[in-house]
Amino acid sequence: MGFASCCSMPTCPIRTGSGSPNKWRCGPTTDLLDAIGRVLPPPAPARGATLMAPPLTAAPTAPVRRVKVLLAEDNVVNQLVAVKLLTRRGHTVTVAKNGREALAALARDTFDLVLMDVQMPEMSGLDATAAIRLREQGTGAHQRIVAMTAHAMTGDRERCAAAGMDGYLSKPVDRTMLFAAVEQDAAATPETPGVPAHVTRTFAEEGPARLAAIKAAIDERDADGLRAAARALVGTAAALPAARALLEAARTLERLGAESRLEPAEAAWRRLSVEAAAVMDAIRFFDGVKQEVAL
């Protein structure tokens, strides 16, 4: 009838349940994509699309092992490309469109790897990673997390490492580098440092009072009181490896108190407040997700 190619009926991506991350099932859909690829030129990338797709007819080499991947990515085109690349490689991929969905997915299921976009709505990849690391403390567990960012700015790699991420991919992601990151031997990933399991609960309970003591010392221009209050918070924050920014902010205020330099203390307090709120939000959110899953 004049058709250059034909294909079977596609199976579309489906949502596994209301409020849950999308589970992509790639079956006959690949026949449709291959047929389109043979008769049409490569399309121009959509706005915001940064992942690089391989030729649709390419047959990738089989990976060493199959990997269960959680992809935290808000761009739909990037989701489709990454899912296609990885499922053709033999891996299983679950998609979350923001950090909150990623945390919910991790509360419901286990994954070998999280590919975490750094910039996402509702909860960023950095904040989601900090929440994951907080909840791991005292368990001996370590979720492997690889960052993906389109910015490629100086300091991005360091910021991702400081947040607790294990690796870093700069967009546009080359498929060879993607496969290498996904199929990396998990044994090479260091374990999260173990701390008493009650540490996060203690911080959630005692943190507000310690923050209030710091603010009161600043308002009263009490340098000795500021040093003592900040030192108490340093002791708690030091037991939270994922809360490095909070620890540095508390140390800054402790130093200002020791040096009787109260002029810069207000700005340092604002930074401390932001970091403390992020840690508290992460603890509360993850506790809320666990309670929802238990119901």
- Give the total number of structural domains in the chain: 2
Q: Which residue has the higher pLDDT, 50 or 145?
A: 145
Q: Give this prediction's pTM.
A: 0.52
Q: What is the mean pLDDT of residues 25-44?
A: 42
The pLDDT score that the predictor gives to residue 36 is 37
Kindly state whether residues 157 and 31 are assigned to the same domain. Answer: yes
Kindly state whether residues 184 and 221 are assigned to the same domain. Answer: no
CATH number of the domain where residue 128 is located: 3.40.50.2300
> Alpha-carbon distance 12 to 18, whole Å?
17
Kindly state whether residues 160 and 268 are assigned to the same domain. Answer: no
Helix, strand or coil, per DSSP, at residue 262: coil
Q: Which residue has the higher pLDDT, 284 or 34?
A: 284
Of 125, 154, 188, the position where a domain reaches its end is 188
Of 188, 214, 247, the position where a domain reaches its end is 188
Q: How far is CA 259 from CA 227, 269, 270, in A?
A: 9, 16, 19
The pLDDT score that the predictor gives to residue 87 is 93
Q: Using one digit for the tens of pLDDT, what is the confidence trace for 234-271? A: 887 777 766 778 888 999 999 999 999 999 999 999 99
Looking at the domain assignment, is residue 194 inside a domain?
no
Give yes or no for a contact between 150 and 103, defined as CB atoms under 8 angstroms apart. Answer: no
> Alpha-carbon distance 56 to 35, whole Å?
9
Kindly state whether residues 255 and 162 are assigned to the same domain. Answer: no
Kindly state whether residues 165 and 223 are assigned to the same domain. Answer: no
23 Cβ neighbours under 8 A, 6+ residues apart: 14, 15, 16, 94, 95
> Alpha-carbon distance 111 to 14, whole Å?
20
Q: Using one digit for the tens of pLDDT, what is the confidence trace for 101-158? A: 999 888 888 899 999 999 898 888 988 998 888 877 766 788 999 999 876 566 677 7
Q: Using one digit for the tens of pLDDT, what is the confidence trace for 171-206? A: 877 888 899 888 885 444 444 444 444 566 777 788
pLDDT at 46 over 80: no
Name the residue among 285, 283, 189 with its Cα closest to residue 236: 283
Kindly state whether residues 176 and 234 are assigned to the same domain. Answer: no
**Residues of the domain holding 177:** 14-188
Of 137, 169, 188, the position where a domain reaches its end is 188
State CA 226 to chain mean position distance: 34
Kindly state whether residues 19 and 133 are assigned to the same domain. Answer: yes
Looking at the domain assignment, is residue 24 inside a domain?
yes
- Tell me the pairing of strands 14-15 and 22-23: antiparallel
SS (H, E, C) 263-279: CCHHHHHHHHHHHHHHH
Kindly state whether residues 24 and 166 are assigned to the same domain. Answer: yes
Give yes or no for a contact between 114 and 125, defined as CB atoms under 8 angstroms apart. Answer: no
Kindly state whether residues 275 and 240 are assigned to the same domain. Answer: yes
> Alpha-carbon distance 115 to 237, whole Å?
27
